[in-house]
Chains A and B, each alone.
Chain A
Amino acid sequence: MRIPILKMHEYLLISIQVELDDQTALQFQEDLLKRIHDTGAKGVVIDLTSVDMIDSFIAKVLGDVVRMSKLMGAQVMLTGIQPAVAITLIDLGISMREVPTALDLEQGLDKLRLELEE
């Protein structure tokens, strides 16, 4: 199972609409880094609106992806995290403080644009 990665100008857009298992998440990590390398994208938005469960491993992978992408010069934004997911993550003790977040895709793109302009 592969997660589609869409390119729009200098951004990459990913909407995760399947249940993330460990294998899919690792595959996604590899695919995304490769796409960033190929396209030279400056910003990445990962939309989690339709994800209703994130466990500690997935959270770690997502955190890693954000840091790895940053190393390669792409700013990542997580958007659309559901309240229930946020509560689960907090209960697990995962606060992902270093990861930028936004309410939805629209605000995520706006925030990214602001950050990249600065």
Chain B
Amino acid sequence: MRNMINDISSNKRDVIAQKWKNELSTLKNLCISSKITPDMFEQLNEEFLDMMIRYINQNDIEKDQTLHRFFDKVLQLNMPLKFLTQGLQTFRRVILDVLLQEDVKKEKAIDIYQHVDRLIDPLLNEVVEESSLFWEKTVSAQKTALMELSAPVIPVLENITVMPLIGTIDTERAKLIMENLLDGVIKNRSLVVLIDITGVPVVDTMVAHHIIQAADAVRLLGATCILVGIRPEIAQTIISLGIDLSYFPTKSTLLKGIEHALEITNQQLLKK
């Protein structure tokens, strides 16, 4: 029976290729929208089919890493996962179609069906697993990058540190901000910390609460917190929400904040 499949898959390659292409042409638009030229798509398709036929003949995934490499390549190209899964499903269907067009008995047909199933299913699993691993890696890399960019502490002058905040602040990030801020104060022996919220789009009660908490914690360590980068619309929201920020100094720009910080630390910038 193996031989039969092998024979058919190599002898009827053209028929299989024709059917396969017809079935997959619906996917073309989907793939081409993601920066892939029609030529490239044809080429990939051809390669895919070649490999599948070779795989059916060899009947072993582990022996040959070409399939793995092909999956990786497709994923690297940002092709939709659908290209692979549908490709495999189509291949199964086409093979069965072609096989069943031969004159075979019912039992044999069932045998063939099961055999093809056993060949294709592990491949499908493989594809899904590989792509999910690929995405997991991407997501975790992005997460680390985001964490690193999330709350940097920058020493600018002696005893003066700046923490610029960009983007929305949620509870998880607020925690990270507070930890980084306190560690930064200890590490740089800061007397004044400026929190710059120029890049924070919305300041609601929750964000303000987090900022107040951070400022209080900084004060407990013995440093002063200055909130800078308060835009007019943020000043309006803060006041209309009834948030009290009068416990610590606030300034409109980072420059004014630094001037104030210099005053607190008894320092002065001199022009030469």
Q: Which residues of A contact B (CB under 8 A)?
A: 78-81, 83, 85-87, 89-90, 95-97, 101-104, 107-108
Contact of B216 with A81 in the complex, beta carbons under 8 Å: no
Interface stretch, picked from B130-138, B175-183, B232-240, is B175-183
Contact of B222 with A87 in the complex, beta carbons under 8 Å: no
Q: Please, how many angstroms separate the alpha-carbon atoms of A102 and B247 in the complex?
A: 17
Most A CB contacts (10 A, CB to CB) among B189, B217, B223, B247 go to B217
Residues of A within 8 A of B182 (CB): 83, 86-87
Contact of A101 with B221 in the complex, beta carbons under 8 Å: yes
The secondary structure that dominates the A interface is mixed
Residues of B within 8 A of A81 (CB): 220-222
Contact of A103 with B222 in the complex, beta carbons under 8 Å: yes
Q: With A83-B183, A90-B216, A90-B217 in contact, is A101–B178 under 8 Å at CB?
A: no
Contact of A97 with B247 in the complex, beta carbons under 8 Å: yes
Q: With A83-B179, A83-B182, A107-B191 in contact, is A96–B220 under 8 Å at CB?
A: yes
Contact of B223 with A86 in the complex, beta carbons under 8 Å: no
* 6 residue pairs, one from A and one from B, having the closest CB atoms: A83-B182, A102-B222, A95-B216, A101-B222, A103-B222, A86-B217
A interface footprint on B181-223 (CB within 8 Å = 1, 0 otherwise): 0110110011100000000000000000000010011111111
Residues of B within 8 A of A96 (CB): 220
Q: Which of B141-180 contact A (CB under 8 A)?
A: 178-179
Contact of A87 with B178 in the complex, beta carbons under 8 Å: yes
Contact of A79 with B220 in the complex, beta carbons under 8 Å: no
Q: Please, how many angstroms separate the alpha-carbon atoms of A89 and B182 in the complex?
A: 13
Give 14 CB contacts A-B under 8 Å: A78-B220, A81-B221, A83-B183, A86-B182, A86-B218, A87-B178, A87-B182, A87-B217, A95-B219, A95-B220, A97-B247, A101-B220, A103-B190, A104-B222
Contact of A83 with B222 in the complex, beta carbons under 8 Å: no
The secondary structure that dominates the B interface is helix
Residues of B within 8 A of A78 (CB): 220, 222
Most B CB contacts (10 A, CB to CB) among A102, A103, A108 go to A103
Residues of A within 8 A of B213 (CB): 90
Q: Which residue of B is nearest A77, CB measured?
A: B222
Q: Please, how many angstroms separate the alpha-carbon atoms of A87 and B222 in the complex?
A: 14
Q: Please, how many angstroms separate the alpha-carbon atoms of A78 and B222 in the complex?
A: 8
Contact of B178 with A79 in the complex, beta carbons under 8 Å: no
Q: Please, how many angstroms separate the alpha-carbon atoms of A86 and B181 in the complex?
A: 12
Most A CB contacts (10 A, CB to CB) among B191, B220, B221, B223 go to B220
Q: Please, how many angstroms separate the alpha-carbon atoms of A89 and B221 in the complex?
A: 11
Q: Please, how many angstroms separate the alpha-carbon atoms of A102 and B220 in the complex?
A: 8
Q: Which residue of A is nearest B175, CB measured?
A: A87
